[in-house]
Chains A and B, each alone.
Chain A
Amino acid sequence: MSLPADAEAKVPAIPLARWADRQLAALARDHGLPRLHGAALLGERGAHGGYRVGGRISAGLGGSRLLPTRDGRWFALTLIRDVDRELLPALFQDEALAVFDHAAIAAAALRHDCADLLERGRMLGLPVASADEEPVSAPVEILERGDKRRRAAGHRPLVVDLSAIWAGPLAGHLLWQAGMEVVKVESLTRPDLIRRDDPATFDRINQGKASLLVDFASAEQKARLIGLIRSADVVIESSRPRALRHLCIDADALVREVPGLVWLTVTGHGARGEPANWVGIGNDCGVAGGLSRALAEVTGEIGYVGDAIADPLTGIVGAREVLRALQQGGAKRIGLSMSAIVAMALAEERAFDRAALDCELRSWGQAVGHPFPALAPRVPSAPVRPLGADTERYLAAALAC
């Protein structure tokens, strides 16, 4: 899509899009994916959704806000579920807090130190971050290993995608682009809500995937799903540990028992220990990864960079790690930390071309209020299966075990 020169000057590239683009170029070169572009994967939701660069309020729905704290730091709080607002009196230790009033929430943040809010917020299971934290986990961790599996030439890997929203499904989408058979599994009681709330994004990243609807209350369906997983090459999942336990899915045991199974666990802040229980989503993980601080260092004003930027960056890294693991052949459980992936991308991009990155950050900071960079639409090239259309086909064939 071409734009008049003056319009183009106002809409800067999303910082780190170039880093993403280098990863995608390598995926095309090494693994036969079509050549997708970093600017497209980082920006397509914002460009097609009419998002504007938001400053201290995240782009799009504006669910995440950067709030100054008593000790002069910045606390990011994402509030997209009303049930989370019920936790705000506990977060701010104020039972009279008007939990739907942005000004009251901002005033409450100013009465606390950032570190205390961060600790309490994480304990409460709220998606929170500090602009000055260091991610506690490695971006990519090998959590478990198992035996190798020899795959016949031309074998088409089967991917069971249990994840929701953006990062995990994007990883699945890239694996589909690499030619794999991808099965998206949704829960009868908790379907992936972006199917309903943002169908254009849903269709782009879930096109071509088979759709399974599983009743997790049914022991037989759960057993058949585990049977399907045992026959798969790849699993993608973004559940907290207790959610997996609740489904009776023991990822580590499956990786030990099923030769060659590559299991991708997508987390906000790490898959091991206490951080495995923390909640992190795209915008606050961008803050936790240091990107908002990087913006402030260059422009003097803090703000969100990109649109839920940790999500697309993590989806790309996830696909890359799965493709490498499949090439090596050994079973492996790979944990991804979204905040640490942002920090890694930022560090690598700084090392690659600090001046260009700082220039992009400066332009991004100056673009507050302007629309996201325009993109030619990436038209889905395969049908989007109706919810649950393939349940019978896959689960009836899977042996209950």
Chain B
Amino acid sequence: MKPGTRLKSAACDTEVMVIRAADGTIECGGAPMDEAKPADAAPLAADFSAGTLMGKRYVDADGKYELLCVKPGKGSLSVDGVALVVKDAKPLPASD
């Protein structure tokens, strides 16, 4: 998956931009994400329904995946069934 690709959730309103990715399947609400939204919405899996937060960066434990939430929704993000977690907040810049 190319960095800068925008992916949409099949199960909720979530949209992410790919910062970093490998070959696994990126999912939201338990369903694979794609550049286009499917005609029929996928069901929201109970295990992946914690929601996404606008502007948060989500990562996996190995640092292979990083997704930026650009539109929030009810599903939560995973790769091959393993949940992603929110990356630490970044401090404000000192100056420009």
Contacts and interface: CB of A to CB of B under 8 A. Distances in A.
Interface of A: 58, 60-61, 63-64, 78, 80-81, 83, 86-87, 89-95, 120, 123-125, 127, 164-166, 189-190, 192-194, 196-198, 240, 242, 277, 281-284, 308
B66 interface: yes
In the A-B complex, the 4 residue pairs with the smallest Cβ-Cβ separation, listed nearest first, are: A193-B94, A93-B4, A197-B94, A89-B3
Given A95-B2, A125-B55, A87 B94 contact: no
B96 A308 contact: yes
A283 B96 contact: yes
Contacts of A166: 95
Interface of B: 2-6, 17-20, 53-55, 66, 68, 70, 90-96
Contacts of A277: 54-55
Contact of B55 (A63, A120, A193, A240): A240
Contact of A194 (B20, B54, B70, B94): B94
A190 B94 CA distance: 11
A196 B20 CA distance: 33
Secondary structure of the B side of the interface? loop
Given A90-B4, A120-B4, A125-B55, A198 B20 contact: no
B17 A124 contact: yes
Nearest to B66: A86
A91 B20 CA distance: 11
A308 B3 CA distance: 30
A130 B93 CA distance: 21
B20 A95 contact: yes
Given A90-B19, A277-B54, A81 B95 contact: no
